A = this chain, B = another copy of it.
């Protein structure tokens, strides 16, 4: 399955082109479709959606532009599929993180790790790096709805943590924005050839976003509010 593959670190898509010259040109249609998506997502991320031309995508796959139209009806459909793969990964990952037990704080940390892990894959970072305004309004609406469900998972989990006492009571909406912002931004800076492994990064974010950086005792809720 494609999903497992893309969870791995990005590999050079060029090397795995099913159209590589002198190679067996007969493979399953789905394999080729996936190869197109893998190449396309890399170029969309590297160059930006509108600067990544289908000509160039095709050229890197050793095929020609019209051949792409055998697998996708339009450039937008390729983009939609990239989003969909990312969405699938986020949804699977979030669902998995929710299947385990623990108090709200534990579950929030697992959720953070799960979300961060997907954010460090090509298709995962699509959701935050690519501009969904390139999509038609219907497709854009679906993508945005999906994104909202991920935010909702965070908000719900935080609320549950507040309820069970493992998370200090805060505005759950703002808390969600603090946490998801930090996680979404990973897609902007993460490079697979960096020093830290995705797992190490995910762990660190899970801790820091919950424990903070202060060495001081947290102020009481009351004292906080008197600050301004």
B-contacting residues of A (Cβ < 8 Å)? 47-48, 50-51, 105, 108, 131, 133-134, 158, 161, 165-168, 170-171, 174-175, 177-186, 188-189, 196, 199-201, 203-205, 207-216, 218-219, 224, 227-228
Q: How far is the CB of A226 from chain B (nearest CB, A)?
A: 12
Inter-subunit contact B215/A212 (CB<8 Å) = no
Provide the bound-state CA to CA distance between A144 and B89, in Å. Answer: 31
Inter-subunit contact B215/A228 (CB<8 Å) = no
Number of copies: 4
Report if A50-B50 is in contact (Cβ < 8 Å); known contacts: A105-B214, A178-B182, A181-B185: yes
Secondary structure class of chain A's binding surface, majority of residues: helix
Inter-subunit contact A211/B214 (CB<8 Å) = yes
Chain B residues with Cβ under 8 A from A178's Cβ?
Answer: 182, 204-205, 208-209
Q: Which of A166, A171, A210, A211 has most chain B Cβ within 10 Å?
A: A211
Report if A214-B166 is in contact (Cβ < 8 Å); known contacts: A185-B185, A224-B207: yes
Report if A166-B215 is in contact (Cβ < 8 Å); known contacts: A181-B184, A184-B185, A208-B178: yes
